[in-house]
A and B are shown apart, each in its own frame.
Chain A
């Protein structure tokens, strides 16, 4: 064997990254760190700092979820359990630290949350990770309901409906930082986000990370290369719980409260949403999804009363038409960009954009009008949705909605076919130039 090994030409294995590639790789991380540092200088309002903090928390949570869904092929309906328990333990930790004046600064509290997520994942995950697929999904749902309902029963620990609150400024100060102002919380979240993202990225590049992918693709075959798929799923589950716990602790620090909503089905659903919309097939997918969904939920809830409905529609649209998520859609264009044929598809996008936008506008008009008559029938019909005032009782508006929706759809359908056609042409042209798809 050793003789034969010596004879293998070096070109057989994938080439080691060149110095320029490595520079690029580390450059991205350093760039991200710098961007996180200067972001508050560009957007310094309290509102944007809160938004950034929420995005950071959501990024960690979504990436932790993708360890299960995208990397190991496990669909969980109860991931908020580990997020929530991390949050509760963090709140209790802050209170205990403050009461006993322990010499533990606030930036270390997320470790308590992470430990909580890890320990509960270790306890609750052993049975559920025996199987993947439907059995795992059902057990995750059952465990989630169990924990969520205990949150309302075990009042001393979970604080019942009101939850448990804490004062984060009472903890030992570090370099004179009280962690009262949002800017300090922003930097705390940003630092933890960077650490967690790097750690989770590194995890994908280990023997365990690769075997997770193998279990996702074919758990049966994994057993015949020496691995127990149950152990692989279990370890992945534990890591996922660890990072979810860190995210939950950061949320608890940010809001200074933990309540049963942290553990609930809505929280579990949101992380599934964000991860899937971003794209489960790429490491950055959940990051994109977390940013998108956080901004959308904050933005939409100001603009319309039924923002969850729009959320659902977006989710369905992504599942049906872009199962690779936003990242998948963007990545599809990479061969075109490399082959220099991207310009061939852009005109067809512009052509398709107009009727599609008309269709969506018609749909939104129809939805908002319906909401007026079903949800708030007694109120004034002059409503304002997405900042645009209109009269929901005006038949002309109904007609406009119908024309936009139906007409837009009929025209848009034709333009979508053209998009597909020009896309195929562009890809073929790119392939002819020797770009691998």
Chain B
């Protein structure tokens, strides 16, 4: 099986504080990989490094065997890696429809076109409609994104992330702050939308992690202390001690 994402000896330091320490991680193509760890372990920083939001201090990051560390976020996105944000990060004044449409424009090859009428682009229209239906926001199509409920905004966040058709998806705590029912719906959505794609997900809810992930990596103090199948992680004494504690036992 070929690798989708590979991190080789990645480190990130802010001043004298090192947040990520010698991380080696491999995510196979088509795998659903969960990244877990206590608060402040560096999970979001690792996402920021992979997606190009920050540059690693040491080490390299590869997307399908090509080095992407050091590239700006939009270059990495164009190579087929898309991420969501822990804190909802949408285009607040624009409607749900416009939000999703902006997210499909680059992938459909329209780039910075200023000579095409945006309403006359059938493939943009169809793809946007498809995503809108997928995230169950059809009834909220014309509502400004800033006025959606929290759960709806989270769904839109996922919609924007997958709309470009990237085959490597990074989701940063997609169910944080959701009720139990909302979480269940969100997980079903994620499962459906990432079918056939590679998923790297940061998640605190252990039922989500163990229900969704093919493999799990545990990040503690900027280091990956274990990586394996859910069963292996469940049985790993180091993980139990450092993080899971009574929760899984």
Contact = CB atoms under 8 A, between A and B. Distances in A.
Interface of A: 4-5, 8, 12-14, 16, 202-203, 205-211, 213-214, 216-218, 220-228, 231-232, 235, 239, 436
Contact of A225 (B94, B102, B117, B141): B102
Given A8-B129, A12-B129, A214-B94, A221 B114 contact: no
Contacts of B94: 213-214, 217
A231 B97 CA distance: 23
What secondary structure prevails in chain A residues at the interface with B? helix
Nearest to B103: A225
B168 interface: no
A78 B191 CA distance: 51
Interface in B214-245: none
B132 interface: yes
B95 to A, nearest CB: 9
B2 to A, nearest CB: 22
Contacts of B142: 14, 436
Which among A227, A231, A239 has the greatest number of chain B C-beta atoms within 10 A?
A: A227
A239 B114 CA distance: 10
Contacts of B138: 12
B113 interface: yes
B67 interface: no
Please list the 3 inter-chain residue pairs (A to B) with the smallest Cβ-Cβ separation, ordered nearest first.
Answer: A226-B106, A217-B91, A223-B73
A207 B111 contact: yes
A225 B130 contact: no
B82 interface: yes
Contacts of A202: 117
B72 interface: yes
Nearest to B52: A223
A209 B72 contact: no
Given A224-B73, A226-B106, A12 B112 contact: no
B133 A12 contact: yes
A135 B130 CA distance: 39
25 contacts: A5-B127, A8-B129, A8-B133, A12-B129, A13-B97, A13-B125, A13-B128, A16-B119, A203-B114, A205-B119, A206-B114, A207-B118, A208-B112, A208-B114, A210-B98, A211-B102, A211-B105, A218-B92, A221-B85, A221-B90, A221-B160, A222-B74, A225-B163, A226-B106, A231-B112
Interface of B: 51-52, 72-74, 77-78, 82-83, 85, 89-94, 97-98, 101-103, 105-107, 110-119, 121, 125-130, 132-133, 138, 141-142, 160-161, 163-164
Contacts of B117: 202, 205-206
Which among A203, A207, A222, A228 has the greatest number of chain B C-beta atoms within 10 A?
A: A207
A183 to B, nearest CB: 35
B113 A221 contact: no
A207 B113 CA distance: 6
A218 B88 CA distance: 11
A226 B126 contact: no
Contact of B72 (A4, A207, A223): A223
Contacts of B78: 226
Contacts of B83: 224
A224 B82 contact: yes
B114 A8 contact: no
Nearest to B108: A207
B129 A13 contact: yes
A218 B90 contact: yes
A297 B48 CA distance: 52
Contact of A210 (B73, B85, B118, B130): B118
A297 B240 CA distance: 75
A226 B91 contact: no
B103 to A, nearest CB: 4
